[in-house]
């Protein structure tokens, strides 16, 4: 792989400073979670919202709704006593304050609008999903590969994989699966040349 293709944060360690949630799942109103230390544990009784925090991180990093535990984005909006809620209370927002190594803080925000659609912002400037994803990628956060989150059951699932499935996983995490198409095309070109 040429140097230009390597995400710059692969050898660096960025960190999450804090997560700001508003009307997201069990979080009513606005809350700041953090600051996170180098190692942070979240503990609490069953149903207290530990996984909802994980969902908030997944959501703000652009994971699709089907990969979250709610089926649609609207399910992620805080629902208790919202019967007479104003328009603004039927929206939710998650902001991730990320600190790349040696750089200033950067705010990644994802909003669920009353319509159920979501929009993305970086430092409060609206972006398309693609632009947002590119920004994350530049910090080595490969959302599709989920290389930043380990869910319950993931370790077991990795241990149970066949060698071939493991190879696929490593290719996903390293990002080399993006070159599958190019590789196959080159392979065909080589075959044609040899013929």
Binding residues for Mg ion (CB under 5 A): 51
Give the tokens for residue 73: 């984005």
User: To the nearest whole angstrom, how small is the minimum distance from the Cβ of residue 51 to Mg ion?
Assistant: 3
| Residue whose tokens read 């044609």 | 192
CA-atom Rg of the chain in angstroms: 20
Which entry of ligand ATP, Mg ion, none binds 52, CB below 5 to 8 A by partner kind? ligand ATP
Residues engaged in binding ligand ATP (CB under 6 A): 25-26, 44, 46-52, 75, 77-80
Which entry of Mg ion, ligand ATP, none binds 78, CB below 5 to 8 A by partner kind? ligand ATP
Is the CB of 49 or the CB of 140 nearer to ligand ATP?
A: 49
Using alpha carbons only, give the angle 127, 131, 136 rounded to the nearest 5 degrees.
110
| Residue whose tokens read 């990002």 | 175
Which entry of ligand ATP, Mg ion, none binds 80, CB below 5 to 8 A by partner kind? ligand ATP
Q: Which residue is nearest to ligand ATP (CB)?
A: 51
Nearby residues of 54 by Cβ (< 8 Å), 6 or more positions away: 149, 151
User: To the nearest whole angstrom, how small is the minimum distance from the Cβ of residue 31 to Mg ion?
Assistant: 18
User: To the nearest whole angstrom, how small is the minimum distance from the Cβ of residue 127 to Mg ion?
Assistant: 30
Strand pairing partners for 24? Answer: 27, 77
Strand pairing partners for 127? Answer: 120
């Amino acid at each position: 792989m040429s140097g230009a293709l390597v995400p710059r944060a692969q050898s660096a360690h960025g960190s999450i400073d804090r997560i700001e949630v508003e009307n997201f799942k069990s979080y009513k109103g606005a809350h700041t979670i953090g600051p996170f230390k180098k190692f942070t544990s979240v503990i609490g009784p069953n149903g207290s919202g530990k996984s909802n925090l994980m969902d908030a991180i997944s959501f703000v990093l652009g994971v699709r709704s089907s990969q979250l535990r709610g089926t649609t984005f609207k399910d992620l909006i805080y629902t208790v006593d919202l019967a007479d809620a104003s328009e603004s209370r039927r929206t939710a927002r998650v902001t991730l304050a990320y600190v790349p190594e040696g750089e200033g803080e950067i705010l990644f925000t994802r909003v669920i609008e009353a319509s159920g659609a979501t929009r993305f912002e970086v430092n409060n400037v609206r972006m398309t999903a693609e632009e947002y994803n590119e920004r994350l990628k530049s910090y080595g956060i490969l959302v599709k590969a989920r290389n930043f989150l380990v869910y319950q059951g993931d370790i077991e699932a990795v241990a149970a994989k066949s060698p071939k499935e493991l190879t696929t996983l490593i290719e996903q995490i390293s990002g080399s699966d993006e070159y599958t198409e190019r590789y196959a095309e080159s392979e065909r070109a080589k075959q044609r040349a040899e013929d």
